[in-house]
Structure 1
Amino acid sequence: MRVFVTGATGWVGSSVVAELLEDGHSVAGLCRSDANVASLKAKGVEPIMGSLADIDVLAQAASDADAVVHTAFGHDFSKFPEHSEQDRRVIEAMGKSLVGTAKPMLVTTGLLMLAPGRVATEADMPPLSDPKYPRKTEAAVKVLTDAGVNIGVVRLAPTVHGVGDRMFMAILAQTARETGVSAYVGDGTNRWCAIHVSDVGAVYCRALEANLPMRAYHASAEEGVMFKDIAEVIGRNLGLPVESRPREHFGWFAAFAENDAPTSSMQTRKALNWQPAGKTLLEDLSDPAYFSYAV
Structure 2
Amino acid sequence: MRVFVTGSTGFIGSAIVRELLAAGHSVLGLAPTDRAVATLHALGAEAHSGDITDPASLAAGATGCDGVIHAAFIHDFTAYAAAAEADRLAVTAMTDALAGSNKPVIATSVTVLLPGGRPGCETDALAPEGPLGARGASERAVLRAAETGLRTAAIRIPASVHGAGDHGFVPALITLAREKGFAACIGDGTNRWPAVHRADAARLYRLAVESAPPGAVLHAVAEEGITLRDIATTIATPLNLPVRHLDPADAAAYFGWLTPFVSLDNPVSSTITQQSLGWHPTGAGLLDDMTGSGYFA
TM-score range, shorter chain: over 0.9
The offset of 1:139, in angstroms, is: 2.6
Aligned equivalent of 2:99: 99
Kept in 1: contact 2:29–2:46 (CA 8 A): yes
Q: What CA deviation, in whole Å up to 9, does each residue of 1:232-258 have, x standing for no partner?
A: 000012121111013222122111011
In structure 2, how many angstroms separate the alpha carbons of the residues matched to 1:211 and 1:282? 30
CA positional deviation for 1:147: 3.1
Correspondence for 1:274: 279
Cα 1:47–1:175 change in 2 (3 A) is: same
CA distance in 1, matches of 2:242, 2:68: 45
What per-residue deviation string (whole Å, max 9, x for no partner) do you get for residues 95-134 of structure 1?
0011111100000011113121110001111124x37512
Which of these residues, 258, 267, 286, is aligned with residue 291 of structure 2?
Answer: 286
Distance 1:44 1:165 in 2: 22
Q: Which residue of 1 aligns with 2:159?
A: 158
- Report the secondary structure of 2:294's partner residue: helix
Say which SS state the counterpart of residue 98 (structure 2) adopts. Answer: coil
8 Å contact 1:214–1:271 — kept in the other structure?
no
- TM-score norm. by structure 2 comes to 0.94
> Within 2, Cα distance between the matches of 1:75 and 1:170?
14
More helix by share: 2
Distance 1:18 1:79 in 2: 31
8 A contact 2:150–2:214 mirrored in 1 = no
Match of 1:221 in 2: 222
Q: What amino acid is the match of 1:154?
A: I
The one-character-per-residue Cα deviations of 1:66-88 (angstroms, maximum 9, x if unpaired) are: 00000000111101111000000
- Aligned letter for 1:284? D
- State the SS of the aligned residue for 2:134: coil
Runs of 4+ in 1 over 4 A off after TM superposition: none
Counterpart in the other structure of 1:144: 145
Counterpart position of 1:35: 35
Q: Could you say which residue in structure 2 is the equivalent of 1:49?
A: 49
> Aligned partners of 2:203 and 2:105: how far apart in 1?
15
Taking a change above 3 Å as real, the CA distance of residues 182 and 142 of structure 1, as seen in their structure-2 partners, is: same
Secondary structure at 1:106 match in 2: strand
Give the Cα separation in 1 of the matches to 2:130 and 2:101: 33
Q: Assess if the C-alpha contact under 8 Å between 1:155 and 1:216 holds in 2.
A: yes
User: Could you tell me whether the CA contact under 8 Å between 2:3 and 2:68 is conserved in 1?
Assistant: yes
Structure 2 gaps of 5+ residues are none
Length-normalised TM-score, structure 1: 0.95
Q: Secondary structure at the match of 2:281?
A: coil
CA distance in 2, matches of 1:69, 1:36: 17
For 2:113, the equivalent position in structure 1 comes to: 113
* Alpha-carbon distance in structure 1 between the residues aligned to 2:238 and 2:73: 30
Which among 253, 261, 264 is matched to residue 259 of structure 1?
264
> Any stretches of 5+ residues in structure 1 without a counterpart?
none
CA offsets per residue over residues 153-200 of structure 1, 9 Å max, x none?
Answer: 000011001121110001101111111110000100001100011211
Give 1:150 shift: 2.0
Counterpart in 1 of 2:89? 89
Q: Percent identity?
A: 41
CA distance in 2, matches of 1:86, 1:224: 30
Aligned partners of 2:130 and 2:241: how far apart in 1? 38
SS of equivalent residue, structure 1 residue 259:
coil
CA contact (8 A) 1:213 1:271 kept: no
| In 2, Cα distance between equivalents of 1:200 and 1:33 | 25
- Cα RMSD over matched residues? 1.4
Checking the alignment, whether the CA contact within 8 Å between 2:153 and 2:212 is kept in structure 1 is: no
